[in-house]
Structure 1
């Protein structure tokens, strides 16, 4: 059992003027199940890190106090299990089973109990492979399941989950929510950060909303909080239950072909696929975790050499480089024509500040300093990063880092933009702004390809959907479906081709 108490708690990261979280007074009793909400940057992830005992004294400044069962969190770590936004940060072993066993061994669990608990935890989260599966061969969503299995195997008294279903397909997300529910007993305290609010509500009995400026904005039973504060929370950017935002679709037909993929693949990560990408169109790539969606995005972006088939760029995209495939283009040529946003934002940061990161692409493209400054200022404002202009990109929250990674690609306005999970970690307000920015880019003749599990994003933006690996077994080579009808639909678990 674990109770949580924060008194005037705040934390300011080293080198920052603004506090990540401040003036939080909150008590969570043994066995309570809390959904922690707040606009992007309100400090949700920082608060979870504090409870997990992961905020080092030399990495920032603390105000107030935080306790777990009366102890400093650094002395109560064995009572706490945490799953971070980025599962890669907590996978430490080369094989999946060993990774789950690692925590049990460190806790001194008897050897005879370890592997039965490993098998139970992997089964609970629907991990689709044998325990000897290489962790480096897992997709982002599969890594999330494995990280959750490692925490559930520990049977913690306090379970901290930071968007545990963010990169999961709908079926996988439902399975993980079921695993979380099954793991909770009367003595387990749960604090859950989740943007899929409606789906998360069956797991919780209390909602706490953090205020970005400090303190707690709302606290109480879910029905009461949303009935009393729902409209104002939505206006402030907090996700609340309700219908998705209105679609923002193109009213013009798709334009000229930019890319053509024929039997494009990279065994065993991606089976051969046929695909056409057009200007003036937003194409959503759907499919279950492990089907090869991120690999496809890297191939389309010219960042991987195909293992099979061909990828041809038309003169409309490639100009005088149309005779060579994108993966052979020089980096400056590729960056000006195809922009890529990786699943892990940190993989594309190369400078020391947010402003410098945004300025790098336009400057390399030969824009004047006045143009660079104007572009950077607009993106900082529209994506609510202006207060973080001087911050190191590696110190941003998950949602802030995702916005920065999208903004760096938007800064050069490439003819084709390829994004992997572009809405991960966004609050309602920044989600809408991202949709507007991408829709605006599409409406001016640019092509947009988005790998996503975000059903609302697909409904709001996609002109066409394309499903990959919809009916493939997890251990088999993914099957690929050809282009469907040009009509947006919400992703489902239905293995039939997507069409309007």
Structure 2
């Protein structure tokens, strides 16, 4: 493997339909074999820069300026030299079986067929993806999909490996496991990692580079020096800096009346259970954090609790304070009945977007409830302000950064004022300021006697909400 050099010369990118530039006037040189931690607040253009270096930003997606070079040639002409793991795990998947998907990049690079099985086996073992190679990629959890994506890039042996939030969907045990696998498998290659949590990578990179929203480089240098000299300013801008902990907005308090109860519940798909024996209650004014390793059925439980998947066995009951005259089983409710009772935020936010602009997306739920146009407008404006999305009101949801998409997906669920909010990894990809804002927002929901059921690996988030714990294993 020959390490690749990466260079930006006055580079910028403006997404189609957007007034503001995601990145502008960026000058940056990454030497062959250098390891970089790329930081910045949500929306600073980190993911955009990685996609551009990998040559996957299309001309119809926006307008560019300046030059991006890989080994002194245009980045778009050097795709075989760069491997990219996208922020959304399922966006990396192209084939139906695990082994085939990991092999896909190798095959496109013309790796001899006799070498590919060994590469696939080593890569999947390195990242801890311990499933049969004929396992359906659609059956993987979000965390397993993330391991799959990293394995595919590692198997390629690219000269530069670009990773966008590679550990964000992993359980705490899996974070150092995958990080160490990446470091071992990319020894000698150029490595650029986007990760909000600095402490995971700070001791394993040569340099930190911080991007300024809509601009170029805000700060760069050896990790210890940047954190020592710029730590306070970076924390104030929303970068997760060790030792700077956002203030939690809510003190723990007990929940009130039960709204949704599970007893001996088994959840799964197509009648096959992935988790059994679940006993849990969501209460008015209370939060429930659903924890556990990747692949144990947390997201499946969340979708079942939200009335979107039928239970396999056991009991899931909406209590009178939630059902309000409807049948007790949420799966039997119509969508208009579900909206003001249970809201749901999917693990992959882009899976729930249906409108061409952020403002129109926020209006979908209120309009489905047949609210008047003034009420729809008021609710939409409130959500834009609350989730700091006002500047993006006319943007296409699919052009937003991962963190911005997550904020939008939460806002769309809140727009119908549900009594129970089911959220899957709500703090994934969020900078520290947005994290604190989400804690404050969910805290206000709890104060208003709503309930929050959150699938999360973020123990700090669960602590901040004073949440009860449900641990699946």
TM interval, short-chain normalised: over 0.9
Matching of residues 4-43 of structure 1 within 5 Å: 4-43=6-45
Q: Which residue of 2 aligns with 1:497?
A: none
Q: Is 2:319–2:328's contact at 8 Å kept on the other side of the alignment? A: no
Q: How does 1:209-288 map to 2 (within 5 A)?
A: 209-250=210-251, 252-265=253-266, 266=268, 267-288=272-293
Q: Structure 2 length as normaliser, TM-score?
A: 0.96
4+ long deviations beyond 6 Å: none
Superposed CA deviations along residues 121-142 of structure 1, whole A, max 9, x for unmatched, are 0110011212111111100100
Alignment partners' CA distance in 2, 1:447 and 1:428: 23
- The equivalences for 1:156-235 within 5 A come to 156-185=158-187, 187-235=188-236
**From 293, 300, 303, the counterpart of 2:298:** 293
Map 1:423-438 onto structure 2 (within 5 A): 423-438=427-442
The answer to whether the 8 A contact 1:249-1:463 is kept is no
Q: Shift of residue 366 of structure 1?
A: 3.7
1:195 offset after TM fit, Å? 1.2
Note the C-alpha offset of 1:248.
3.2
Partner of 1:382: 386
Moved more, 295-304 or 373-382: 373-382
Residue 374 of structure 2 is aligned to residue 367 of structure 1: no
**Pairwise CA RMSD of aligned residues?**
1.3
Question: After the TM superposition, which residues 45-124 of structure 1 pair with which residues of structure 2 at under 5 Å, given as runs?
Answer: 45-124=47-126
| Post-superposition offset of 1:334 | 0.5
Asked whether 1:405 is paired with 2:409, we answer: yes
Distance 2:323 2:170 in 1: 34
Q: Secondary structure at the match of 1:432?
A: helix
Offset, 1:251: 5.2
Runs (5+) with no aligned partner, structure 1: 470-500
Q: TM-score, normalised by structure 1?
A: 0.91
Please give the alpha-carbon distance, in whole angstroms, between the structure 2 residues aligned to 1:94 and 1:193: 27
Unpaired runs of at least 5, structure 2: none
Q: Could you report, residue by residue, the CA deviation over 1:370-416 in whole angstroms, capped at 9, with x for unpaired residues? A: 33222222221222211110111122111111100000111111110
Structure 2 contact 255–285 (Cα < 8 Å) conserved: yes
Is the 8 Å Cα contact of residues 197 and 240 (structure 1) preserved in structure 2?
Answer: yes
2:311 corresponds to which of 306, 313, 322: 306
Determine helix, strand or coil for the equivalent of 2:87: coil
SS in structure 2 of the partner of residue 165 of structure 1: coil
Deviation at 1:40, TM superposition (A): 0.8
Q: Shift of residue 6 of structure 1?
A: 0.4
Deviation of residue 262 (structure 1)?
Answer: 1.6
- Kept in 1, the 8 Å contact 2:45–2:214? The answer is no
Check if 1:392 corresponds to 2:391.
no
Aligned counterparts of 1:122 and 1:374: Cα–Cα separation in 2: 49
Q: Deviations over 1:138-185 (max 9, x none)?
A: 001001101100100111110100000010001111110110111132
SS at structure 2 position matched to 1:170: coil
Give the Cα separation in 1 of the matches to 2:183 and 2:199: 15
* Paired residues, number: 467
- Does 2:470 align with 1:466? yes
